Each structure stands twice: as structure tokens, then as C-alpha cells.
Amino acid sequence: MNRNALTVVVLVIVALLAIGAYTQRQTIRSMISGTVPGTDMASPTDNYANPEVSMSPSEASSGASMSSMSKAMVDLAEQNSSGQSGTATITEENGKAVVVLDLSGGSFTTPQPAHIHVGACPTPGTVKYPLTNVVDGKSSTTLAVDMKTLMSQLPLAVNVHKSAAAINTYTACGDLKASASPTP
């Protein structure tokens, strides 16, 4: 490869890296400030009720899938020896899916980004829906879609990150399932 071609290749690589870094910084800033388009994000200190998740007797007897249920629960398993695990409860309120995260364990002093990703744990893919940052183990986010739409996009996984600075370190993850059994 001649010197001019090599210079062009290096400049293209540097430009792509700069664009990627800028995009990641903008995404992190949006998550921290709570200005992510496509969501009605609640304040990190609001609405931490963890409703009990169950199906009605008619849903249970009909073998209902989560796409027709008004509530669903996802177990969030510990990742990367974080000590953190918990649940994601998804309900539908006023035609919109509401995702409530309730985590315990680990020692996290900064807000933790959380998302619904395309794919499955332990290595989900791209972010599909940003969630409100987890603060003191809690997060609540109202998505701009209903549960039927959300569940039609499977496979999806709820993923919690260590911090905005350590966005590539996952602390807890759980897969949304197409069907569920009654929960006590």
C-alpha cells in the first residue's frame, strides 16, 4: 500500500472513531439528563412502587402470553460479579408500558444507566429503549409504546450498567419472555 493510500485509511479510521465517541457521549449525556426522545422518563426519585406481579385467573387459565397481559416480571440476574440482582416489572398504564426496576446488592454510588436492548443476556445487542437511570436500586420509566408493541419486538433484554463512565460493564440482566406462568 502506498503512503497516500495509507494516510487516507488512517484519516478515515480516526474520523470514524471520533464520530463513535461523539455519539456515545451524546447518548450518555441524554441518559443522565433524562432527555431521551421516545420516552416519558420519570424522575429517578419518583414512582418506585413495586407492584405485585400476577395474572388474573382468566389470563392464567387461557395460557395468556405477555403480549396480552397487563403485567409481566423479568428476573434480573447478577452479571460480572457485581453482587446486584433484582426484578423489572412491566405494567401497562394508559396504553403505555411502564418499566419499574428494583435492584439490591452491590455498592453503587453513581446513577446506573439501564436499557431495554435487542437480543438476550448475557450479551444483548443495541439499545432499543433507554430507561431512567437506576438510583439507589430503583428506576421507573414510561415507554412511548404499549405492552403488545413491546412484546412484538422480542427478543429483548433489560440490562443495567455499572455507571455512565463504565457503560460497557453490565451489573444485571434479564430476558423478556414471550410467555409467562402465574407469579405468586
How many folded domains does the chain comprise? 2
Is the model's pLDDT at 23 over the cut of 90? no
Residues 63 and 99 grouped into a single domain: yes
Is the model's pLDDT at 144 over the cut of 70? yes
Express each pLDDT in 52-97 by its tens digit.
333 333 333 333 333 345 788 999 999 999 999 999 999 999 999 9
Is the model's pLDDT at 159 over the cut of 60? yes
For residue 24, the Cα-to-chain-centroid distance in whole angstroms is 16
Residue 11's pLDDT band, with cuts at 50, 70 and 90, is: low
Mean pLDDT of 163-170: 95
CATH code of the domain containing 171: 2.60.40
Residues 57 and 139 grouped into a single domain: yes
Give a yes or no: residue 139 inside a domain: yes
Q: What is the pTM of this model?
A: 0.62
Residues 60 and 109 grouped into a single domain: yes
Domain span at 19: 1-33
C-alpha cell at 47: 414512582
Residue 5's pLDDT band, with cuts at 50, 70 and 90, is: low
C-alpha cell at 156: 429483548
The Cα–Cα gap between 68 and 147 comes to 8
pLDDT at 117: 96
Higher pLDDT, 67 or 25: 25
pLDDT > 70 in the chain, percent = 59
Residues 59 and 26 grouped into a single domain: no
Is the model's pLDDT at 43 over the cut of 60? no
Beta bridge partners of 135: 138
Beta bridge partners of 134: 112
Is the model's pLDDT at 150 over the cut of 70? yes
Q: What is the mean pLDDT of the chain?
A: 74
The Cα–Cα gap between 39 and 129 comes to 8
